[in-house]
Amino acid sequence: MFYGVGVKLDRVLVYGLGRSGRGAARFLARAGVRGEWLDARPGAEDEALMDELSWARGDAGGAYDVVVAAPGVPIDHPDLLALQARGAEVIGEVVLAARLRPALPMVGITGTAGKGSTTVLVAGLLRAAGLNAREGGNIDPPLLDVVDSAEVAVVELSSFQLERVPGLRLPVAVVTNLGVDHLDRHGTVEAYHAAKRNITAGQEAGDVLVVPEGLSVPTRAQVRPFSPDRIALADGTPVLLSSELPEGVHPANAAAAVLAAEALLVHLGRPVDAGVLAGALRAAQPVSGRFETVARIGNVRFVEDSIATRTIAVQAALERAVPPVVWLVGGRDKGADLAPLREAAAGRVAQVIAFGEDGEALARALGLPYRVVAGADGEATMRAAAQAGLDALNGEGTVLLAPIGTSFDQFRDYRARGEAFRRAALTLAGAEVQG
């Protein structure tokens, strides 16, 4: 038996394992809870952990106090609805952490693009200010793997996670932007945006919400607007110029991160030193898989942005890449809006290299010159794409992996696709040096 703040855990079910569900099970086990689990397609790692924890397989027809549902399970899944009808409260990992670790301050960060990079920046700024800040959530590692070793948790929150945050109150929340994504899950843009706005639903007048200038989000919190043209504290005190940021660190993410870190420091009664924050930003490293230069051959850069499958993220990558750009497009089409991408590519993209299941169809729809490459597997495909990108440039420009499509046609996830591209680019760079 275990009772947290506002949560009774006599009978708990972890529904959906994978990265998040395994993190929830490990966290509950450390708290002395022996729950049950259910997953439609458990992997070997899932079953091994449940055996180690001595958790029994649950039943969607059973009665539970709390169901901790993994983000990948839609909130209207028939099993979750049936469990709720029998009295269970459905929550996610973030609410579980907030209720069982109520003294842990959390900064929540969401958005259609840039939320992962901003999460890492905020955590880095807080560490520079002397706090043991750990990042987790939608970004590796799972939040519940870090909450017991953190003084502050900085949480990347997807729209899936934000479907299941009843009563969550964050002292500091950030919305990086709101675009179009995950319509296959949420159905409409309005429903997707409503899920994102849940990040501020539990905030009160003493809390802070950081949003882009011009974005209106209904909230009771104090609103702090940010702009990529102004990396400064809330009172306007400059922190540093965007030109001083390391390559791969976006000014908008930096501007949002400064305001979020400042708000959390003020919340904790800690001093805010603009010089310390500036130093941390100058030392910041881009997040792997998010517009990162992974290799150079002369004046040709190989930029990996494998996570760029949302229109707003791909558009940002195209606008940041040094032209001429050879744009690697492919994977499995998720229905992205291509119109803004045609505009962003105009005058910048010299050629599209199409790969994977829907690469050629995407390239045709973009209306740009393209070449199709293929390989026996994902690794070979990325080697062919990187080589074709280099061949298409005259010794100067950018080979950009911003694929639009998801990775699931040839890879485990976007990280695996990005690593394959990185290896291909580094191999080409090594061959260039040796030759």
Centroid of chain to Cα 75: 19
111 in a labelled binding site = yes
The answer to whether 204 touches 43, Cβ cutoff 8 Å, is: no
Distance CA 180, CA 162 (A): 16
Give the gyration radius of the chain's Cα atoms. Answer: 22
Strands 299-304 and 370-372: unpaired
At 82, the amino acid letter reads A
Q: Is 136 annotated as a binding residue?
A: no
Query: Which candidate, 273, 291, 289, places its Cα nearest to that of 420?
Result: 289
Residue 4 marked ligand-binding: no
| DSSP classification of residue 40 | S
Coil, strand or helix at 95:
helix
Q: Which amino acid is at 51?
A: D
115 is in an annotated binding site: yes
Does the annotation list 114 as a binding residue? yes
Residues in the chain: 435
Which amino acid appears at position 311 of this protein?
Answer: T
Chain-centroid distance, C-alpha 126: 19
Q: Are 92 and 164 in contact (CB under 8 A)?
A: yes
What is the DSSP code string of 273-306? -HHHHHHHHHT--PPTTSSEEEEEETEEEEEE-T
Q: Are 73 and 185 in contact (CB under 8 A)?
A: no
- List binding-site positions: 111-117
Please give the annotated binding residues for ATP, written as ranges. Answer: 111-117
